[in-house]
Amino acid sequence: MQISKVHRVLKLIVVLQNGRGNTVEELMDELGVSRRTLFRDLNMLEAAGVPYYHEKGVGYKLSNEFYMPPISLTAAETLGLMILGKSAAAQRDKPMFASALSGIYKLISTMPEPMRSACGEMMSGVSIDVGAHGYGEGEVAHYTILHRCIDEQRMCRLRYKSPIEARGFWTNIKPYVLHYAARAWYLFGWSEKHGDVRVLKLARITDLEPLEDTFERPEGFTVSSVLDGAWALNPEGEKYEVELLFKPMVATNIAETCWHPTQHIEMLDNGSCIARFTVNGLNEIAWWICGYADQVEVRKPEQLKQIVLDRLRRAVENLSQQTVDV
């Protein structure tokens, strides 16, 4: 795959940072581009406000105005970065998390030693557990390829290991957005096989190949427009007003967490709470409700009550068929 325009321009900035000056021929050779493309990229730098100049007999250089001035962090800001660093360290195998961690460490290293050590000692009393997370061995490689395809607006061909299709499937796809949610990275893109936009988990992609075909991303496309009020990631095309009654044992936990943008919580005098949501589809929220077992009552809609009842009934049947050794 050719280096994308954005990646090429970023590399141009890195090359110009060497401070010794770079001739046109040196830049063309370093970037592997033609003279015309090089000057087009230099014009892009100028349009973006990146200050560079040409010194006769030396070549192109970045102006000193480009470099970021020294950063002065407060103790609170340093502690905040350290907490983010601990969180990122626990997920360093995820795409971009290792890079974020590296950047955080570099910022922290600018702090004067007495304050840095003091903050480090304070952090010894802080522990972070990011909870359950996926492994997704291919996520990093797939993320890099897809990110470039999105940048270049280039189609790609992939094979997807679908949980509902035993053999998986191949499809050509127009990648629109990479989205991190529910402890994993997802691709939002138009699938040629399905004829509409699909949400694909990167960890389930088994083969991925960029194509030469290009596309134009629909104007105004957003993740929220695709999800359209889904409980998580799978809208079903119809919205429902959901009302749930949670018993006192779990009511506080429910009220303390924002589960959905449409959430409205009403606390009752007996310690229970009523939670109301407007969701697109019922299957995803039904799984969430089942996790609260006998501590929740589905008040509406009736379809949701039936879905939860059927799933819990099957769970009881499965458990009753198992032999328990005492």
Q: What Cα–Cα distance (Å) separates residue 145 from each residue in 101, 152, 154?
A: 21, 11, 10
Q: What is the CATH number of domain 239-320?
A: 3.30.70
Overall CATH class of domain 145-222: mainly beta
8 Å CB contact between 113 and 151? no
The tally of CA atoms less than 13 A away on the side-chain side of residue 187 is 29
Res 2: pLDDT: 44
8 Å CB contact between 187 and 202? yes
Q: What Cα–Cα distance (Å) separates residue 260 from each residue in 131, 204, 246, 276, 300?
A: 19, 26, 16, 10, 17
Overall CATH class of domain 5-66: mainly alpha
Beta-strand (E) ranges in the chain? 52-55, 59-62, 154-160, 169-181, 184-191, 196-201, 205-214, 239-246, 264-267, 273-280, 296-300
CA-closest candidate to residue 275, choices 290, 287, 286, 260: 260
Mean pLDDT in runs of 10 for the chain (326 residues)? 66 78 85 85 81 82 70 76 75 71 74 73 72 69 88 93 83 95 91 94 93 92 94 95 98 96 97 98 97 96 97 92 62
CA 28 to chain centre: 35
Res 112: pLDDT: 73
DSSP state of 207: E
Res 292: pLDDT: 96
Tokens at 9, concatenated: 């321009």
The reply to whether 5-66 and 145-222 are identical in fold is no
Res 85: pLDDT: 78
Report how far residue 192's alpha carbon sits from residue 173's, in angstroms, rounded to the nearest whole number.
Answer: 6
Fill in the amino acid letter for 125.
G
Residue with token string 């990093």: 140
Count of beta carbons in the 10 Å neighbourhood of residue 30: 14
Domain ranges of the chain: 5-66, 75-123, 145-222, 239-320
Res 68: pLDDT: 60
Res 124: pLDDT: 72
Res 45: pLDDT: 82
